[in-house]
Amino acid sequence: MTGTATLLHDIQALAAALEDTRDQMEAGLAADLTGLDTRVAVLCAEAQSARGDAELAAALERLLPTLDAVASALTRQRETLAAATEGRQDPHTARQRASAAYGRGTAAAAPGDLPPDPPATPSRQS
């Protein structure tokens, strides 16, 4: 059985990962959801073994809106892809392309995603 502190840390780490995943999906990027169901199931099973721990129950409940947001983003992506496949105009497509192109601010861009610095021009010294 895992300790409460470890479970709380794992739940917080999962919440952060889900928020990052949602942000990526809302920017029109594909997200890797591999293992998400297993990760959530393991956390729930471990938390269930610590029945009566109100702090764990509250932490798991706080995950629900984030899980719902990821599910909604996934649904929007699926609808956008279906519309594109069928050749229909989709209101999300332009927003997603713009969001992906311009990002959600500089904090959202990974260092590898930024354009390279321009070459330094030599300065003339007298």
Q: What is the pLDDT of residues 67-122, one digit of tens each?
A: 999 999 988 888 888 887 877 665 555 666 666 677 654 444 444 454 555 555 55
The C-alpha atoms of residue 60 and residue 53 are separated, in whole angstroms, by: 11
pLDDT of the residue at 104 = 55
Q: For position 11, what pLDDT does the model report?
A: 92
- Confidence grade of residue 126 (pLDDT, cut at 50, 70, 90): very low
The 3-state secondary structure of 42-53, one letter per residue = HHHHHHHHCCCC
Q: How confident is the model at residue 124 (pLDDT cuts 50, 70, 90)?
A: low
pLDDT digits (tens, 9 = 90+) for 12-69: 999 999 999 999 888 888 888 899 889 988 988 888 887 778 888 889 899 999 999 9
- pLDDT for 106 equals 45
